Amino acid sequence: MLKKSWLLFLLLPLFLMSCFSIGTGFNVSENRHTQSASVRTQYSEISMQEQSDLGLWVSGPLNGQFVIIGVSGRLSRPADEIDAAKLDAARKVSMYNGIQGSVEYAITSGSAGFFDYSSESKLELNYDTNYQNYVSDLSFDPEKDVLRATGATYIRFTYSGISSNLNYTPEKSNERPAWVNNLNIPHFDGYDTVVGFAGRRNRIRDTIQASCESAAARLIENVSTSVSSQDHSTTMQRTSSATATYVYSEGRLSNFQVLAFWIDPVSGAVSTLAAARISK
């Protein structure tokens, strides 16, 4: 069974941001931004409460283990929260195993001025939704790896079925991570690295998932992109013209990994740092 995710919205700035990312994959040498051993040790020992306080949640490979942050909404029974977070983590394992996706943008600008425009986008992600296939290989320490916060429960899982050579360990800081602003993005041989973004949804879990899917969309844009345009004119009481621009991207992602996500303490928006191998 495959998952299809569709996003429709009318928002020019997000379209422009996506266009900016086209063809700018970060595929450079591994460990360009080196970090001291003390920093690695410091962050590998950070508690769930400290991650919550910083708003920076680290997943992906860490100290030889594949770490996944599973997120659940707050439920009446703690056992149900664990099950929901485990399924969320299993979904991310499935995305690691392979995503076939496409991204479409359509923007129309008219002759009436700067605000005479509309835009629309559609994202489709296909991946295995038999999440139970991955649940049995997920493990966590109920004493150290669970944090129940306002609006969400976070669980740090390790998955025994994945071996990855990526090594991302951020420096512990109270400041916004530089990669949120597309600065100092870590690079890994054979991978593209991008930042996804999602504005605040009703539930923090939904915001985190939307940001993860946004990162997948930006990676797909790096695979291949075609752009076409059409001009239209109408004559009724007065002559008006419009230009429609269409952008289409399609590709396959393998080894898709969320390395970290950061929750803006003011707006509630989520930025996600993710990496994957890309192909047509």
Q: How many residues does the chain have?
A: 280
Contact 278, 257 (CB under 8 A): no
Q: Which amino acid, one-letter code, is at 102?
A: S
In a domain, 2, yes or no: no
Based on the structure, what is the number of domains in the chain? Answer: 1
In a domain, 7, yes or no: no
In a domain, 215, yes or no: yes
Q: Which amino acid, one-letter code, is at 45?
A: E
Residue from 140, 44, 128 nearest 86 by CA: 140
- DSSP-H helix ranges across the chain: 12-21, 37-44, 48-54, 78-97, 132-135, 204-221
CA distance 228 to 211: 27
Q: What is the pLDDT of residue 239?
A: 53
In a domain, 224, yes or no: yes
Q: What is the pLDDT of residue 240?
A: 59
- Give the pair of three-digit tokens for residue 39: 């920093």
Q: What is the pLDDT of residue 233?
A: 54
In a domain, 3, yes or no: no
- From first to last of its 280 residues, what are the pLDDT tens digits of the chain? 555 444 443 333 444 444 433 333 333 223 333 333 333 334 556 789 999 998 999 987 766 678 999 999 999 999 999 999 999 999 999 999 999 999 999 887 755 554 456 778 899 999 999 999 999 999 999 999 999 999 999 999 999 888 777 878 787 677 889 999 988 899 999 999 999 999 999 999 999 999 999 999 999 999 988 988 776 555 545 555 668 889 999 999 999 999 999 999 999 999 999 999 999 8
In a domain, 248, yes or no: yes
Q: Which domain holds residue 101?
A: 12-279
Contact 29, 187 (CB under 8 A): yes
In a domain, 51, yes or no: yes
Task: Count Cβ atoms below 10 Å from residue 146 Cβ, excluding itself.
Answer: 18
Residue from 63, 32, 11, 19 nearest 167 by CA: 63
CA distance 129 to 131: 5
- Give the pair of three-digit tokens for residue 54: 């910083």
In a domain, 170, yes or no: yes
Full-model pTM: 0.79
CA distance 90 to 94: 6
* Residues whose CB falls within 8 Å of the CB of residue 54, separated by 6 or more in sequence, listed in order: 172, 173, 174
Q: What is the pLDDT of residue 32?
A: 34
